[in-house]
Structure 1
C-alpha cells in the first residue's frame, strides 16, 4: 500500500498546553565516529527539526562538539529517553569494544529504536525480547550483508535485493522480527506483523551523502514522540517508518526544486513539510 500525506499526518504528534520537553519525547542518539562525525550532526539536526522535545547525544567527543556547535540545545549527558537512534556513521569493522558495549546496552533496553549502518551487525534473531521495538534502515548492500550473516541463511546479493526489494524487505522482517525500512527510489517498509507499505516520489537528487542520516533522525524523533502509542499499536512502527520516509522525500523535493541538494538542505526543509501536513489536516476540519 502506498503511504499518503493524510495517513502520515495521523502520526505527527502536536504538543498541547500541558506538554513539556520530556512529555514531548526525548531521543537518545549514539551515532557518528572519528571518521564520520557529520553523520551525528545530520541525524541530530533532522530529529530536532521534526519536533522532538529533547535530544541526548551520547557519541564520541569530536562529534559531540560539532553537534553542539550546530544545535546548542542538545544535551550531552545520559538520562531518561523514550527512543534511540543508533549506528549512523559508525563502521562495524573499526568500532571499539566500548562503543559496542554501549550500543548493546541501548538495544537491550527494549525501547523503540532506529538501527542503521554500524549497529546492524548487533541485531539478534526474533527471540530477542527487544526486537519487536526495532526499525532497521538499510540500503541494498547493508541488507544483503545482514541477511547473509544469519545462521543457515540463503546467500543473496545487493543486486538480487535491488531486483526484488519488496520480497527482500518481507524476508528480513520475518527472519529478524524487526520492522524493515529498505531505502531506495521507492522505499519499502515491511513488519513482522504483516504490514507492507511503500513511499514513492523521492527526487533522484536525494541519492547524496548523508541523506540516510537525515532519514534516521526524522524517524528517531517520530518514535520518541509516539512512544506511548507504539506500546499499544502493533502496526505503529511500520506507520511511523512510512511517515518518516514520506517527510524525508517531501523535504528533499522542496529543497531540490529540480536541482542539486545536500543532506543538510533536506534536514532544514523538514519543518516546512511538517507545517504543510498540519495545515492540510487543519483545513480538513473546517
Structure 2
C-alpha cells in the first residue's frame, strides 16, 4: 500500500522563487524547449508561452519551420535558433507536439544528447519512448494512454488492475525518474516511490493543449529551483497549472465557471502566482 500525500497551496508557495534585486535573466532560470512540429506548431507556442508566464528569465526555442515562426510571432522575446551554442540551459522541455513515428535521425540524436546530459528534462508525448537508459534527471508527463506504454517499457502492463497509485509508484521506481500522471486528480511519483496528489483543477482544464502548458510551466519551475526535488517541483507546477485554470475559467467561490482554452491557462499563470504569494 503506497501512501499518498495531498499537495497544497502552501507546499507550492514554498517552492516559488521570488527574484531579488541581484537577479538577472540567467539567475531566474533558462528554459530550452525542443517541442512542436510542422504538424503541431501550437504545442511549441503553448509551452513557450507557459514558460515565460511561469517566471522564466530566459526562454530558448530549438526548432524550425512553422513551429519556430509561430513561437516568434506570439512571443518575440524568445530566442529561437536550431543550435543553442554556448547558452546555459537550466531545464529542457522535449516531446510536446511531436510524433516518434515521424522523428528524423538528426532529431533522435539531438534528443538523446539532451537526455544524456545533467540538467532536468521534462519529457512529454513524442519523446517518451526515449526514456529508457537516459542519464539526466527526468520528469515524465504522460496521459493515461502514454502511461500504459511506459508500463510496457518496464515489462509490467497495467492489465486493467486500476491500481493507479501502485502502478505509478512502481513505474517511477523502475525508471528511476519522476512521473506525473495527468488526470482529474494528477498524481506525481518520485523514484523513491513517494506519491503526491494534486486536485486543484476545475473540469474545464480538460482541453486540448493543456498538457503543453503544464510542460512549459514545469520547465520554468525546474529551471528556477535546481535545489528542490523534481517530484516536489512537478507537484507545484501541477497545482499552479490547476489554479491558473480555476482563475481563467472563473470557477471560484462556488461558481461553475465557463469554458477555457489552453492559452487562457498560460495567460492566467502570473495571476495564479500573485494569488498564491499574496
Q: Same fold (TM over 0.5)?
A: yes
Higher-helix-fraction structure: 1
Give the Å deviation of 1:179.
0.3
Aligned residue number for residue 156 of structure 1: 158
For 2:157 and 2:141, how far apart are their aligned partners in 1? 20
Q: What does residue range 251-270 of structure 1 map to in structure 2 within 5 Å?
A: 251-257=244-250, 258-270=257-269
Q: Deviations over 1:27-82 (max 9, x none)?
A: 01000011111000000000100001100000122111110111111001312211
Indicate whether 1:25 and 2:29 are aligned.
yes
For 1:37 and 1:197, how far apart are their aligned partners in 2? 32
Aligned residue number for residue 243 of structure 2: 250
Q: What does residue range 226-245 of structure 1 map to in structure 2 within 5 Å?
A: 226-227=225-226, 229-230=227-228, 236-245=229-238
Aligned residue number for residue 71 of structure 2: 67
Q: Deviations over 1:159-212 (max 9, x none)?
A: x37x32211210110110010100000000111123210001321111110000
Q: What does residue range 172-187 of structure 1 map to in structure 2 within 5 Å?
A: 172-187=171-186
Query: How many aligned positions are there?
Result: 264
Give the Å deviation of 1:155.
2.6
Aligned Cα root-mean-square deviation (Å):
1.3
Cα contact 2:115–2:135 (8 A) shared by 1: no
Q: Secondary structure at the match of 1:181?
A: strand
Cα contact 1:46–1:270 (8 A) shared by 2: yes
For 1:50 and 1:34, how far apart are their aligned partners in 2? 25
For 1:245 and 1:44, how far apart are their aligned partners in 2? 17
Give the Å deviation of 1:156.
2.7
Runs of 5+ consecutive residues of structure 2 not aligned to the other structure? 251-256
Indicate whether 1:56 and 2:64 are aligned.
no
- TM-score computed with the length of structure 2 as normaliser: 0.92
Cα contact 1:165–1:182 (8 A) shared by 2: no
Cα contact 2:241–2:265 (8 A) shared by 1: yes
Runs of 5+ consecutive residues of structure 1 not aligned to the other structure? 231-235, 280-286
Q: What does residue range 186-225 of structure 1 map to in structure 2 within 5 Å?
A: 186-225=185-224
For 1:270 and 1:115, how far apart are their aligned partners in 2? 21
For 1:92 and 1:156, how far apart are their aligned partners in 2? 22
Greater than 2 Å deviation, 4+ residue runs: 154-157
Indicate whether 1:112 and 2:112 are aligned.
no
Q: Secondary structure at the match of 1:241?
A: helix
Q: Deviations over 1:6-43 (max 9, x none)?
A: 11011111111111101111001000011111000000
Cα contact 2:36–2:96 (8 A) shared by 1: yes
Q: Deviations over 1:120-148 (max 9, x none)?
A: 000114xx532xx1100001100111221
Aligned residue number for residue 107 of structure 2: 99
- TM-score computed with the length of structure 1 as normaliser: 0.89
